[in-house]
Structure 1
């Protein structure tokens, strides 16, 4: 039997990881164990024990510090004494706690001990790449102004990329490891490693210290032995490809003539190519252990990273409670230490309420398209061309010489109509398929099985017609396959039915640039609002959270402080480095590709991580919240047609789809004003969530000695967290609601005046008081109020708008949503 892992946190951060346990391909045996957890178990399972902040705040007395250390040491010692090999990880740098193999009874006992914030089963999280690896395409491009004194590189679509120097900035990446031999990680012309770096380059059979350099300055891996003695992770080397792809997108060195076998050819480059990379391998083919994620957070805090990038998380249906979420816990402590944490929003869209990694101290990123497409067209007899989308390297004749058939017409006499239309196995007559290109109905996935069914009968190509072809180009290798809409499929079907001998061909992929409209919000990108908000607002105060969680339905923590996702960035068909020995994606007779094309919010996250690193490099004293504010308030809401950004189903995107909009690269470097979310904001958020002062002071080392939860800890207060977006919940149309914000002048211009403008929907009056802010010096802080008043007594749907502060040089936009 496999033993499960349990984590115990003991110091800073107030969150337990939900017992999720989902791998790349769905629930694992761990999920089954979760179902039985409430009945108790006498066998060991891996638990996390979380004990709060590793270091007390400056206001904590020496006696309190000694007591906290004693609590941790005594508890850890008691476990080691009883079970010498039980402890898997200890957390001591950014927060306190450990992960150990315990029975449920032992876990319950530990949860009652002094200094323990929470105890929860070790979850398995998943990477935030879309469900199928056939979502492959090309590199994105990020615009940058020419006045930033940096070199510009041409991307495949002709747009210049971010190359502002960030050589003193370190991006830590929690993922599947790294392929150090990739040219994207060469250190040519880079200066010495920053002296403040305290990390290491761990060795293994296939990875030596020489694999690290002045670009890749750190590489760690986290091995949690299974009960049978096996170890899933035994090297920093990437065996999946995901980590290398993400690292290259965030901070890859410019590499010219990169492509996926000629597709998406151009210069591959990261968002902050001057930044250093530190890889923390926490994921394998089986998923990402929460206990390892916490260990990586703990090490990264001590190592000295500036930005942490996580393209992983739970599935939306299994979101953990705040106190059970290893990402929320680790991110809380990292932000306390001045580290900006950027996470992917997840790939469970387009349904509302699917966003994950939505704690207010995390910068959460959704996914959009770019202005490049991959066409694989269908040419019919007579010369009609029907546009398709796919990546294939078809060797068919380019002229239409191959017989064409609709799969339903090849149905077996006793076959099922649906099965035949969908080209399912054993549904079609071989003599009717052999030598032909087949038109198949299809859904979003499982097209490889349809291709197998056609090829097993001698078919030479497949045209998939789907209800919504989307914007992601699937990859079919050398097999002639393409995807188009049912509308276009009907044109092909009409041709088949009106022609005695219909013929066609499927053409190999060509790269199309300046594709319009772009960006659009892609269908898989998870949407807001964060689930659970409405229920949480019905109560004036929550009960104290359970300190021990073995069996509980997955719930969603409230997120009424901010919109989620925060921002959107390119996440469709992104070209970036790949592992050098992956024959599974290689064309026949060719070496494995050095670059590959992937889609997912996994790909959008490192774009924002790279931008955050560039902002940090130019503004080293800025806090994580100032960096986040600069990115959010300078986002774009228009596409390359000058129209509002839409979804890939042609509806106008809202903040629930893309947060503040599409990330820009120059705006965050010169935001004019920033919203700094202070420690007290986050602590008050925890108050509202249900934690008491004693728990909060255990969690946070930065909690002021005199801190107390607000007496009236209600829903309205959460909206007053000093976040760069505004969310109002339970707006019933009967009373006005006020929020307060504080902005800091970072324009560097001394005396400067900003004027407020409001974009409000019908049914809502929004007033800003005052509507002018007069700053007399740099870094000065000023407050303002926003009053939301109904103009109708019964609003029917959520309302969206924005408050923007402008002067002749700057535009600082805060989106808002009013939830009814």
Structure 2
């Protein structure tokens, strides 16, 4: 690939790059950093350190200190610089679950929260079930959101602690000191800030995709890695933190665009930042160290805008996010992760473990438009953020890049504005129309650089995919138009002897319809490891999100302007903290709820309709399915009182581990608490995954001949005591769905009742494609909806290596 990789700091977020040579991490040596995972932490800290030391000494004969990190709070293990041979030897030792090479990884608001509020149709009681004496004005103040990211800019007004009460006494974390960060930078909002030594020597693999418009300046890709300070040098962590829990700030904007009152989803929640990423990427061993510390510190929610790309089918026992999240959930912490940005391809969703709440990205009802005005004042709608200095009148020469082809150059390359394909004399002083449809070799930003380098004064990119995702181009006039609009532009150029145009500076348009729509880059299901868990789980705003930014970023500052205090970026990274903020509010109002109960509340109260009261679509216009958005678009008030919840028990997760191939010894090593009588079913296979008590249902290997029987259990949390729920089913053509019983009669709060769902075929033939439907329970006050998917494909994936 010829493009830079920094876009993944905002979109792919957490590009895992395994060592190409696992034995060589330093020039001239044969040592690399390996993670030794030893499962649950069952002994005291001192004993664990002794255990780790004894294990190391039993294998190593060297005297130098090889440890990089030690994990001892939420789980046991360590990261050390050892050889491949030593790693294999340690893997055979008793008590070791897995040993795997450390990974170099790269990273995956004003209007968005208001938009979500408007989309929520559920009305909640005036006296929420808080479980304490909180006033409504302090909702969320006892929730602590831990964020694993690039750090934080503590001076941002989004992190002021005005009117916040004392820090919760259960908080055990700290604010570390660094060259550019002091404990005094923390306050009652930002209560914790940790960073991790980036001493692990990891080989970086260059990404191989240019599908997405680059959202950040190329220079950031070569910035020095800094994991030893909580201060954000990238911007990503600051943006994510303020989206999840930023304080209310009036008159926030990006140079006047998207102006309004900025706030996080849970503005009264506290923030704890764990710096595990830099502009150079993230380190798996540091991610595990952050999970370990966060468990001991006392966070309620963990938000990770990180995830592997779809082409790396990382195994459960080698995935630092899945491992860390398992132990966090086991300690009562809900873990929210981005779904990844390798969409719209099928099976591109990541962070697919059932204990993770996985978030897809959607648009909101705001659009950033930069119009093209042709000669004769014909206006063409364009997209993108620029502060064009051009005049409003169309008086600048306009040329199609193909017509500026350099002698001897390929016409297709010239049409796409590829490097060394156009004649400088024909480009200079003109607005250039470039094709960006189906060109995977160069990014939009690279093409802009080419045109600028040849003296062009503006660029119009023909791009169907990216047109609803506004990239930022500073003062250079740049805009994206769709193919159906490009025909008129090209016709004008071809029919005019002196074609002229101008590009207008961007304006923000609100109440845009339809919205939400699922973003083209948002990763899609089904899950690559088993089709019997539906992923992603939920969708949230992730396109053109305004949030706080680092105050020293001059990379794209328009001429004559100061660096921005707020920035507009896109990605599933931006969707993730929206759900984290909702989860923190739910936790505050329902402090005794488990992570799975909070997850269920968020999923079963999602909406599937847009602001036109029509089904949510993808940004290409097709009707969205659960593979696009899981249960639907998150709502803000619905999860506070969901009526019923599906609680996924520890036993469900243990059974899941059985079903995907772990033996009982491996499970006992991993899990902190396990019933004495627990045993894996004799015929464990991935088909049984469908029966874990999940808020959605996914079935594979449906051949139309035999029926599939699925069980679920719900808990009454509606607060009404005695109540009756009746079921309704939305089933696709050819599928018969029967629910037994069809009514659930509860006699008290917190009562649990179970039901069966029998799936059969009305045609006794195999499905030609995956089909979708839903099961909804309602008592007249609450609606509890579970989506389902039925597939004839196999749920087993031999490529998913444990």
1:520 matches 2:517: yes
In 2: Cα distance, 1:609 partner to 1:496 partner: 49
Output one character per residue of 1:152-181: Cα deviation in whole Å (capped at 9) or x when no partner. xxxxxxxxxx98721110000000000000
Out of 177, 181, 196, the residue aligned to residue 203 of structure 1 is 177
In 2: Cα distance, 1:176 partner to 1:497 partner: 49
1:294 match: secondary structure: helix
CA-CA distance at 1:504 after TM superposition:
1.1
1:661 matches 2:641: no
After TM superposition, the structure 1 = structure 2 runs for residues 77-116 of structure 1, keeping only pairs within 5 Å, are 78=58, 82-116=62-96
In 2: Cα distance, 1:363 partner to 1:642 partner: 26
1:616 matches 2:564: no
CA-CA distance at 1:433 after TM superposition:
2.5
In 1: Cα distance, 2:480 partner to 2:317 partner: 44
1:258 matches 2:232: no
> Is the alpha carbon distance of 1:321 and 1:739 closer, same or farther for their aligned partners in structure 2, counting shifts above 3 Å?
same
In 2: Cα distance, 1:170 partner to 1:559 partner: 33
1:707 match: secondary structure: coil
Quick check: 1:202–1:209 contact (8 Å CA) kept in 2? yes
Quick check: 2:306–2:340 contact (8 Å CA) kept in 1? yes
Out of 681, 689, 701, the residue aligned to residue 718 of structure 1 is 689
CA-CA distance at 1:401 after TM superposition:
1.3
After TM superposition, the structure 1 = structure 2 runs for residues 9-158 of structure 1, keeping only pairs within 5 Å, are 31-34=19-22, 43-55=30-42, 71-72=51-52, 74-76=54-56, 78=58, 82-128=62-108, 141=114, 142-143=116-117
> Is the alpha carbon distance of 1:137 and 1:193 closer, same or farther for their aligned partners in structure 2, counting shifts above 3 Å?
closer
Quick check: 2:303–2:336 contact (8 Å CA) kept in 1? yes
Match of 2:287 in 1: 293
In 2: Cα distance, 1:108 partner to 1:673 partner: 48
Quick check: 2:531–2:699 contact (8 Å CA) kept in 1? no
Out of 156, 165, 187, the residue aligned to residue 161 of structure 2 is 187
After TM superposition, the structure 1 = structure 2 runs for residues 499-578 of structure 1, keeping only pairs within 5 Å, are 499-531=496-528, 557-558=529-530, 560=532, 562-578=533-549
Quick check: 2:239–2:547 contact (8 Å CA) kept in 1? yes
In 2: Cα distance, 1:163 partner to 1:461 partner: 49
In 2: Cα distance, 1:629 partner to 1:72 partner: 38
Quick check: 1:140–1:575 contact (8 Å CA) kept in 2? no
1:423 matches 2:417: yes
> Is the alpha carbon distance of 1:96 and 1:672 closer, same or farther for their aligned partners in structure 2, counting shifts above 3 Å?
same
Out of 773, 778, 793, the residue aligned to residue 806 of structure 1 is 778
CA-CA distance at 1:227 after TM superposition:
6.1
After TM superposition, the structure 1 = structure 2 runs for residues 684-695 of structure 1, keeping only pairs within 5 Å, are 684-695=655-666
> Is the alpha carbon distance of 1:200 and 1:27 closer, same or farther for their aligned partners in structure 2, counting shifts above 3 Å?
closer
CA-CA distance at 1:661 after TM superposition:
0.5
Match of 1:277 in 2: 271
In 2: Cα distance, 1:77 partner to 1:613 partner: 43
Quick check: 1:568–1:663 contact (8 Å CA) kept in 2? yes
1:583 match: secondary structure: coil
Match of 1:242 in 2: 236
Match of 1:267 in 2: 261
CA-CA distance at 1:757 after TM superposition:
0.3
CA-CA distance at 1:406 after TM superposition:
1.4
Flag structure 2 segments of 5+ consecutive residues without an equivalent.
1-10, 128-135, 203-223, 793-802
CA-CA distance at 1:78 after TM superposition:
4.2
2:662 match: secondary structure: coil
Farther-moved stretch of structure 1 (710-719 vs 643-652): 710-719
In 1: Cα distance, 2:557 partner to 2:126 partner: 39
Out of 689, 704, 719, the residue aligned to residue 748 of structure 1 is 719
1:177 matches 2:151: yes
Match of 1:739 in 2: 710
Quick check: 2:774–2:787 contact (8 Å CA) kept in 1? yes
CA-CA distance at 1:139 after TM superposition:
5.0
CA-CA distance at 1:795 after TM superposition:
1.8
CA-CA distance at 1:475 after TM superposition:
1.3
Out of 583, 587, 594, the residue aligned to residue 554 of structure 2 is 583
- TM-score, with normalisation over the residues of structure 1? 0.87
> Is the alpha carbon distance of 1:393 and 1:69 closer, same or farther for their aligned partners in structure 2, counting shifts above 3 Å?
closer
Quick check: 1:24–1:285 contact (8 Å CA) kept in 2? no
Flag structure 1 segments of 5+ consecutive residues without an equivalent.
1-21, 57-61, 129-135, 151-161, 532-556
Quick check: 1:390–1:483 contact (8 Å CA) kept in 2? yes
After TM superposition, the structure 1 = structure 2 runs for residues 631-710 of structure 1, keeping only pairs within 5 Å, are 631-710=602-681
> Is the alpha carbon distance of 1:470 and 1:483 closer, same or farther for their aligned partners in structure 2, counting shifts above 3 Å?
closer
> Is the alpha carbon distance of 1:514 and 1:587 closer, same or farther for their aligned partners in structure 2, counting shifts above 3 Å?
same
> Is the alpha carbon distance of 1:402 and 1:125 closer, same or farther for their aligned partners in structure 2, counting shifts above 3 Å?
same
Quick check: 2:368–2:508 contact (8 Å CA) kept in 1? yes
CA-CA distance at 1:23 after TM superposition:
9.9
Match of 1:306 in 2: 300
- TM-score, with normalisation over the residues of structure 2? 0.89
2:656 match: secondary structure: helix
